[in-house]
Amino acid sequence: MKTAVFPGSFDPITLGHYDIVERAAPLFDKIIIAIGQNSQKKYMFTLEQRINFIKQTFKDFPHVEVDSFEGLTIDYCHSKNVNFILRGLRNPADFEFEKAIAQTNRALTHANKIETIFLLTSSGKSFISSSIVREIISFKGNYEILVPDAVRI
């Protein structure tokens, strides 16, 4: 069974995240959207809210699961016996950052290698980021066009 972990903070999930999962769905038997707890981030939405947003967004995707974890993504992948990490790329800066993480993950894994699979975000969604959405929400702007229906609060 080919299973991928799609890690992130998803604060909140955006249409860019949705695009990546929707396009990756045919490539894997199961995708685990894993909400990581980053000690350096202050979240706008609680973990429970983010889990609910994602569950509602992917309710029609039976092979998509939602989970949360603390610690390193590769440790989480090992605990779930997963060999693939799914990441979305919006721009060249994302690529450089994600490449460094992928190479570090490969160096930190020994016998059980973990491959990172990169998908380019569709061009119409490449400008969307959770941080931009949070900024728009904080100023009471029209963020609804950037997120799935479940996030519209």
Q: Has 125 been labeled as part of a binding site?
A: yes
110 as an active site residue: the answer is no
Q: Is 23 annotated as a binding residue?
A: no
118 marked ligand binding residue: no
5, 34, 38, 127 from 42: Cα distances, Å: 23, 18, 8, 22
Q: Is 68 a catalytic residue?
A: no
Whether 152 is catalytic is no
Is residue 30 marked as binding?
no
DSSP per-residue string spanning 96-138 = HHHHHHHHHHHHH--SS--EEEEEEPPGGGTT--HHHHHHHHH
**Counting Cβ atoms within 10 Å, is residue 62 exposed (0-12), middle (13-18) or buried (19+)?**
exposed
Catalytic residue, candidates 42, 50, 79, 90: 90
Catalytic residue, candidates 2, 41, 63, 152:
41
68 among annotated binding-site residues: no
Q: Is 131 annotated as a binding residue?
A: yes
89 known member of a binding site: yes
> Does residue 90 have an active-site annotation?
yes
Q: What tokens were used for 78?
A: 């090992």
129 among annotated binding-site residues: yes
Q: Which two tokens stand for residue 76?
A: 């989480």
Both tokens of 138, joined, read 């904080």
98 is in an annotated binding site: yes
CB–CB of 20/86 below 8 Å?
Answer: yes
Contact 112, 84 (CB under 8 A): no
Active site members: 17, 41, 90, 130
Annotated binding site: 9-10, 17, 41, 73, 87-90, 98, 125-131
Annotated binding site for ATP: 9-10, 17, 88-90, 98, 125-131
Annotated binding site for substrate: 9, 41, 73, 87
